[in-house]
Structures are given as structure tokens and as C-alpha cells.
Amino acid sequence: MTDWIAATRDNGTLPYIIIDKKAAAVLVFDASGKLQGVTPALVGVAPGDDSTPGVGSKELSKIGPAERTTPAGRFVSRLGTAAGGENVLWVDWSTSVALHAVVTGNRRERRLERLLSPSPVDNRITFGCINVPANFYREKVGPLFRRAGGVVYVLPDTKPLETVFPGVLLHRAAAGDAPRTGASRR
């Protein structure tokens, strides 16, 4: 993924983030592609790569567990304000998915402990948003995305990488590195 972004300059002149849902990790890059930081993340409780139609307009209490996905894809993202005045990076405005500092209001969810866990298995807890440590959001995401926003790439859970990002397959083919079995490689 990083090779494709660098080779094609798909991010243009903007910083970018790669969210690896399977590894429960967020990687932040400046506009030139230099890695600025990596952190564990919390993602949607339900595996999957598509949002349920209309989920962005539902109240949180009306969103069922199967609808709590973090959608895969390429998103042009900007900083903004969410309900309650919280600063967030809007990943997909239409589905109300944002990247923001970890929410700790419900102690039973143990979100801070989940971030520190060595296994990504317990990092599936959100309604679809991406939660990162507060200091990472404040020190890495905010400064890079403040001026003009950026691009967020959310890697898929279930679909092949090339289905979500067709340019990756073209880049691999041009480099003579196309997958032999059709399986996704990251």
C-alpha cells in the first residue's frame, strides 16, 4: 500500500493515514510519505468493509452490532467538530465515521486497556470510528491535518486489497509483482 501511494503520489500534496483494521493500527505520514508515527487503534466492532446504508443518520443507540463497521476505502478527510464539541478528523462524513482521541466515558468498555493490549482481537469496540490515544491525536494527527486536511486509506477486512484499491493491482502488475493466486497481500 505504501509503495503504491509513493509511486503514484495518490495523496497529492496532502498528508495521509493508513488504517489497518486487522492489525488495529494507524500509521501517519507527511505529504512526502515520511512516516510520522504509528499507534494502536480501536475500530468498529463488526468486521466488514461497507457501511450499512443510512447508518450515518441513526442515533448511536439505534445502530445494531452488525452495523458497527469501519468502512474500507480512500477518504479525503478534514478536521472538524463532532457532537459535544469534540475535535475529530472526519474520515467519512456521510457515515459519521471519524478518527479521534479514545472515548473513555464508559469504563466497562475498557478502551484504554484495549489500546494497550498486545493483541488486535480486543480492539474491536467502536461504532465504526477509529479511536487512537489522545496524545497521538493531539501531537501527530492534528498538526498534519490542520492546514488542508489529508487522505485516509482504510484497509479492508474481508475484501481483497485490490478490490478496494484497484490501483494497487495495476502498480503490482507494472512492477512485475502481481499476485499469483488472486489473494490479497499486504
pTM here is: 0.87
d(CA 114, CA 3): 30
What is the 3-state secondary structure of 137-163?
Answer: HHHHHHHHHCCCCEEEEECCCCCCHHH
How does pLDDT run across 11-37, given as a tens digit for each residue? 999 999 999 999 999 999 999 999 999
Domain boundaries, the chain: 2-54+62-168
d(CA 154, CA 167): 15
pLDDT value of residue 185: 26
CATH number of the domain at 2-54+62-168, please? Answer: 2.40.440.10
Spell out, as residue ranges, where the chain has pLDDT lower than 70.
53-58, 61-67, 171-186
pLDDT value of residue 173: 64
Residues 6+ positions from 78 with CB-CB distance below 8 Å = 89, 90, 145, 149
Q: Are 152 and 99 in contact (CB under 8 A)?
A: yes
CA distances in angstroms from 138 to 40, 108, 125, 144, listed in the order given? 15, 25, 22, 10
pLDDT value of residue 78: 95
